[in-house]
Amino acid sequence: MRVKLSEIIDAIEMTNDETHFYLNTQTGEIEAVLDFDVNNFGEQVDENFDRYLALPTENDIDDHQIMADFVATLPAGVQQTQLASVIQRRSAFRHFREDADKFGLTSQWYAFRDNAYQKIAMNWCNENGIEYSKA
């Protein structure tokens, strides 16, 4: 079985406190579980526990570190200093996006973040023995 890496990345990006994603290792399908519906899916998982792998959740992904890594790639100067300061404050994500936009770095930031998520997805697949395709 081979899964599409893009589908795993999409699921990782959509995960939140109320929505979790699992890979059905027999079908290759990614299934969403909403907290309010967990009992129905929980029964299915209990009956077929070896069939499901939990995808990384927002708790497994350090978005703050991804932002810090991005800032470290910027040349020393106002942009780097300002963005480094922003990620230390409250509402860091919102302010980071605003300042990245102000500095004209939005597309560069999203490309960096997308690459980081791709690495996370590839590492998850490798750690779990899941073959993937990038297409």
Look up residue 23 and give its two tokens. Answer: 């890979």
* Model confidence pLDDT, tens digit, residues 58-84: 888 999 999 999 999 999 999 999 999
Overall number of domains in the chain: 1
**CA-closest candidate to residue 116, choices 68, 46, 81:** 68
Whole-model pTM: value is: 0.85
Determine, yes or no, domain membership for 98. no
Cα separation, 66 vs 73, whole angstroms: 11
Most confident of the following: 13-27, 47-61, 75-89: 75-89
pLDDT at 45 over 60: no
Q: Do the domain assignments include residue 77?
A: no
Q: In angstroms, what CA-CA distances link 120 with 12, 35, 64, 85, 117?
A: 9, 24, 14, 26, 5
Question: Does a structural domain hold residue 75?
Answer: no
Residue 21 dihedral angles phi and psi, to the nearest 5°: -125, 145
| Range(s) of the domain holding residue 34 | 2-58
So what's the pLDDT on residue 42? Answer: 55
- 125: Cα separation from own chain's centroid: 13
